[in-house]
Amino acid sequence: MLVVHADRAFREHVTPEGHPECPDRFDAVLAGLADCPAVARVEAATGGDVADVVRVHDPGYVGALERLARQGGGALDPDTWLSPRSFQVALQAAGTLVRATDAALTAPPGAVERRAFAVVRPPGHHARPAAAMGFCFFNNVAVAAARARAVHGLERVAIVDVDVHHGNGTQEIFWEDGAVLVASLHRARFYPGTGGADETGAGRGKGATLNVPLPGSTPPARYKDALDGVLEATLRFGPQLLLVSAGFDAYRDDPIGGLGLGPEHYAWIGERLRATADDACEGRVVAALEGGYALEALGELARAFVGGLGR
């Protein structure tokens, strides 16, 4: 079983009408997790701390976001909109990953707190060190990874990204940091245009970035093989914590994604991630909601994933 972290405040990040990253996503996921047997309990999310965020983001960028929100917000790019409450909500999303990570790293063996799913928005994996991008302001999993190292003294953290879009922000943040493995399966030649197999890191981080771009026509069996390869590399890395960017836009009918996956495949993804965490880091795994825009299916996809991760 696992703990779900969620809060109605995540509905307060408002996007323009018709925008795919809308508050209804939060409602759809929570509805799908209602009475899910893998969920031990749902905990209210907490506020965040700028001190955690600036470990991976430029302080000037963080301050500029806060000022813009106070002025009423606005468009940061054609896709990414800041509403008056967005700064505080994004800070709370990052803080929720921090809380879940703290709990996973301090809970005794076998405790349900060692596994968590954070139902947060805005998402985070496109957020760069000094720029918002692709619906994202703060890179939630990166903030959690940096917290795990700085506060808990971890030497190795792994981030596995299963969103259909490459997590370019996460990759950029840890590009030269060999203590964090950043592994991504994503659709090739797709937004944001990064994530080639030849992108493997630099300096001390050389070899700690692993990208597996897949054609849009990839069958689920091939996706499974690719994920198994990523998780084998994760085991070799030997992480003390596994963080997951859990996007559900590889779903076959996602309106802005799609990679042929269905609920049964997300259940399998959750199971494989859980098994990897059990083998590598004493069951410590924290997943964060990233993409997924097919509202009619999002709850079922999240329920399948959580059922596998918390089984």
State the catalytic residues.
126
CB neighbour list of residue 306: distance below 8 Å, 6 or more residues apart: 2, 4, 33, 36, 38, 39, 117, 270
Q: The tokens of 146 are what?
A: 């940096």
DSSP per residue, the chain: -EEEEE-GGGGGS---TT-SS-THHHHHHHHHHTT-TTEEEEEE-----HHHHTTTS-HHHHHHHHHHHHTT-EESSSS-EE-TTHHHHHHHHHHHHHHHHHHHHHSPTT-GGGEEEE--SS--TT-BTTB-BTTBSS-HHHHHHHHHHHTT--S-EEEEE-SSS--HHHHHHTTT-TTEEEEEEEETT-TTS---TT----GGGTT-EEEEEE-TT--HHHHHHHHHHHHHHHHHH--S-EEEEE--TTBTT-TT---SB-HHHHHHHHHHHHHHHHHHHTT-EEEEE-----HHHHHHHHHHHHHHH--
